[in-house]
Structures are given as structure tokens and as C-alpha cells.
Chain A
Amino acid sequence: MKKGLVILLVFFAALVIYPFIFKNPFPRHLLIMIMLYGTMGIGWNIIGGYAGQVSFGNAAFFGVGAYTTAILLSKYGINPWIGMLLGCFFSSLVAVIVGYPCFRLRGHYFAIATIAVGEIVQILFTNWEYAGAAVGIYIPILEESFFNFQFHTTKLPYYYIVLAMLAFALLVCYAVEKSRLGYYFRAIKDDPEGARSLGINIQNYKLVAFILSAILTSVCGTFYAMYVLYIHPANTIDLWLSIHLCIIALIGGLGKIFGPVIGAFIFIPLTEFTRVYLGSEGQGIDLIIYALIIILLATLRPQGLWGIFAKSSS
């Protein structure tokens, strides 16, 4: 327990120092992406790993977060931090609209429904003139400041903002795991009927898990919009994004607080490097590599990579 805390502190200290050692844009960008996907992976883990409801639609929350911020800022000049909060609100709303009917069904209906939801949201934004349709939205350039959530001379503040988001996500996940919520999620995953017999309203608790997942993903959408300053349906609401989140959580170990962080540290460099070195010809090669990783993991270490770390530190 104590040892785990020390490792965690060392890990965060290393993340804080990292940009002072690596001053080039690429390694910084790489870490930003790792932390961004780690945060989203934690969000995915809450619904998929803890509560056991596999979602292939989390990209919808990423998109809603990004679009809410971008639309409000570009059309009404509303501050992106407020956009972030409103994005969370709309993402939660989507989670409730999708989850409420689906969580009454058993088994894998939810997983299938989430694929449809992700696709529908993407189609909606692709055809919605007001939101820039397929072309997307450019975010107006503002003076650089924390208040404006924009930095042009250096990417460093983005780095620390996403680091704070990752810490926040870990904290949320920790709080969930150590509270009744986390125990109930695991019970629902293990045996929903048994959970019901002990007074757990399983639909409501699945909904809570989905909303938490939506919020953590939506926040990342806002960050992404402010980081790249240009969003369109293909780079925000892609089925592949949803699948990547699932893979990240799987690699690290489902239902483990730190699992998705480990997953992101393996997954994102792989994607970025294949993209950089193989260019567009390399598209798909990363996926072949993940497939191999997952096959290896499934046979050698079904608990995910976290199992190795937990074992060596205990």
C-alpha cells in the first residue's frame, strides 16, 4: 500500500520534470497524447472495466465535449472552461439518453447500441451545417492565457493541464473504487441478478458509471479542441477512438485504477511511431501490433499488464 503510493509519487514527479528534460515538441506532444488517452482510458475503465458494460461509443462524448466548446467559443465567444463544463453536461445527457433504455436490457445489447450511438453522433455532426458539417470548426485564435485555454508560443501549459486532468481522473477512479459505488459496479459486473437481490438498482448504478465515463471523456474532448484548434467529425467522433480506448484499458488490465495509464504508455507511442515512420502506408500496422499484444496478453496474462506490476511490487 505504502509502496504503491511511493511509486505513484515518483511517477508523477517524473511527469512533472519530463518537459524540462525533453524540450523538443515531439516528445512533449507524445506525452500529452499519452496522458490524454490515459485519462480517457480511465473513463472507459469505469464503465467497461469496473461495471463490465463494454462501450464502443465513448468517442461520442469526446466529440460532444470538443464540439460544445468549439461551437460556444466560435459562435458566441463563450469561455472554453465554461464550454468544458457545458460539454460535460451534454455528454451526461447523451449518456442518460443512451443508457436509460439500454441498461434495462441484458447482455451485450448495450455494447451494440453504443456502436450505433457513436456512428449516429458522427453522422449528425457530419451533416449539421451549423456545426461546420464535414469541414468542421476552426477555433478562433485568442490571446494566449490560461483563462483563454490557448497557448501559442509553447505547448508547455497544455502539458500541465492534461497532467492535471490525468491526476483528476485517477483521483475520481480511486474514490470510486474505495466507495460503495465501486463495490456495486464490480458486483453488477460479476452477477447482476445477485446484485439485484441485495437491493442494488442495477440500471441506476450502470447509469452512474456511464455518466462518470462520459464526463472524463468529454473533458478530454474540450482539451483536444483547444489543443489542435481545429475539429471535424473524423478526428473527434471516430469509432476507432472508441475501440482504442477499449484496447488501452484491456492492455493495462480491466478494473485496475492504473491499468489504462500503462495501456496508454504502450499504445500511444506505438501509434505515433508507426504514423511517423511508416506514414500513411503504415496505417493499420499499429493495429496488427495491438492485435498481437492482445493475443499474447490473453494467453499469458489475462489480468492485463497491471498484473505484472502488482505482482512485482507486492
Chain B
Amino acid sequence: MNEILVIDNVTKRFGGLIANSNISFAVERGKIIGLIGPNGAGKTTLFNCISCYYSADGGKILYEGKDITRETPDGICRMGIGQTFQIVRIFREMTVLENIMIGAFLRNPGRKKAEEKASEVAALFGFSEKLDLKASSLTISEQKRLEVARAMATGPKVLLLDEMMAGLNIHEIREAIDLVLKLRESGITLILVEHVMEGVMPIADKVVVLDDGEKIAEGTPDEVVYNDRVIQAYFGDKYHAKRRKNTA
């Protein structure tokens, strides 16, 4: 079975507002999936349904063929789905090493082993020099990287990253892209939620576009950028019409 994650007709409502409406797509093992869409499209909501912070009102989410729709966030982490948050949630009072250790403890209950594992992961993410710094003293881009490192220390098969590139400068986006590619190389399946396309398009194997709670396109980055509905959602009608005229 090559589909590690299947989103099947997922619907999520907040009162009268439908944040996700019948969304379906599949995620292939070892691929990078970009989940994009303008602000308020419903990306974080779908992300939270997958990571089980919300339970979907309709539809199902299958991980390795198992229904995880009603699982808990900690439960799915133990099953092998790691995540980061749109707004950074590191342990601010702890050191960099301790932050990563909290992740490492999941598969290494002993402290010595967890510390070893955490140091390895820290090295991979370029934190070897900063192990004893308080996490809150890191820059935003480092804090985001720490969140990824921490999640990786739990030994996930799938990693969900919510707006990892938002708020980063061009140089840092470049670094983040390299990091994501490195993770894919190690066999991890990645779902990147972004509202800026630049970060995702060059590296995604598949892109799913949400707008106003609905899936409006799905395909390779090339297919998606030339999709009319996507252009309209992102750039509005004016740009849409202009492009029509140019290509005509």
C-alpha cells in the first residue's frame, strides 16, 4: 500500500461556518505534499483534523489503512505522525537540548538514551553549538527549526508542518527548503501547509489547493499554478482577467 494517509470526505464546521467541506486526497509514502490556499482557506483546520486536535464532523482520515479520525494528538504521535504548529510552541523555559529530549523520550524512555538521541537530532538540525541555550532566546527561524527537530526526535513516518516558512527571510526559506528535502531523503512523508507558494512549489511532489473551505485543485505544482481557479483564488479576478487576455 503506497498511500500512507488518506483524507476521505473530511468536513469540519465551526458553528455555521464550514471551514472544511468534503475534502479528499491521498498522500503517497515518501512524498512532499503542499497544502496551500489563501488566508482563511481552511488549511490549519484540516491540519488540525489530521493531527487530531479537532475531530472531523464528517468523513474519515486513514493512516496506514487505520481510521484515526477519533484518535488523540498524543495517540497519533505515538503511531508515527509528528507535527509543528503555525504559531511556535516550543518549551520556552527549557534548553534546546531538553526540548528535543522531550521528543526523544517517546521511543527512548531512559534519560541517557534520550539525551544521545536528542544530541544526534540536534546535530542534524545544526543545534550542536546551542544545546544549552534557553529555547526562548533563539530567533524565530531557529525556534521553528527547533520545533521540527523536536518532532523528528519522536521518530515519525509522517511530518505535518504548518507554515514553517511564514515569517522567514529569503535566506532562511532557502535553508528550510534544504531541510525539507533532507527529511524526504531520509524517507519521511511531509505535508507542508503554506500560504506563500514560493516555498512549496519548487519542492512539492503534489499540491492540494484549498479556498474557502473547499478543495479547488490537486496536482503537480506545474498543473496547479496554471489552474484558473487557483489563480483566481490567489490573485483575484483582475489578475485572472488580465492573464486571460495575455494568453488569448
Contact = CB atoms under 8 A, between A and B. Distances in A.
Interface of A: 178-180, 183-184, 186-187, 189-191, 193-202
24 contacts: A179-B111, A180-B109, A184-B102, A187-B94, A190-B92, A191-B90, A191-B91, A193-B53, A194-B85, A194-B89, A195-B91, A196-B72, A196-B73, A197-B51, A197-B74, A197-B83, A197-B89, A198-B103, A198-B151, A199-B154, A200-B102, A200-B106, A201-B74, A201-B75
B105 interface: yes
Interface of A is mostly: helix
Given A180-B110, A197-B89, A199-B74, 11 more contacts: A180-B109, A183-B98, A183-B105, A189-B93, A190-B92, A193-B53, A196-B72, A196-B73, A197-B51, A198-B102, A198-B103
A179 B102 CA distance: 11
Contact of A199 (B77, B91, B92): B77
Contacts of A194: 85, 89-91
B73 A183 contact: no
Contacts of A201: 72, 74-75
Interface in B147-167: 150-151, 154
8 cross-chain pairs, A with B, having the tightest CB-CB distances, nearest first: A199-B77, A194-B89, A190-B91, A199-B106, A196-B73, A187-B102, A199-B78, A180-B105
A35 B82 CA distance: 45
Contacts of B93: 186, 189-190
A122 B227 CA distance: 70
Interface string B86-121: 000111111000100111011001110010000000
Nearest to A199: B77
Nearest to A195: B102
B92 A191 contact: yes
A202 B103 CA distance: 14
B138 to A, nearest CB: 15
Give the residue among B73, B94, B109, B111 with the most A Cβ atoms within 10 A: B73
Contacts of A200: 74, 102, 106
A58 B23 CA distance: 49
A210 B142 CA distance: 35
Contact of B154 (A179, A187, A191, A198): A198
B74 A190 contact: no
Contacts of A189: 93
A183 B95 CA distance: 11
B168 to A, nearest CB: 20
Contacts of A202: 74
Nearest to B98: A183
A200 B72 CA distance: 10
Nearest to A178: B111
Contact of A183 (B75, B89, B101): B101
Contacts of A191: 89-92
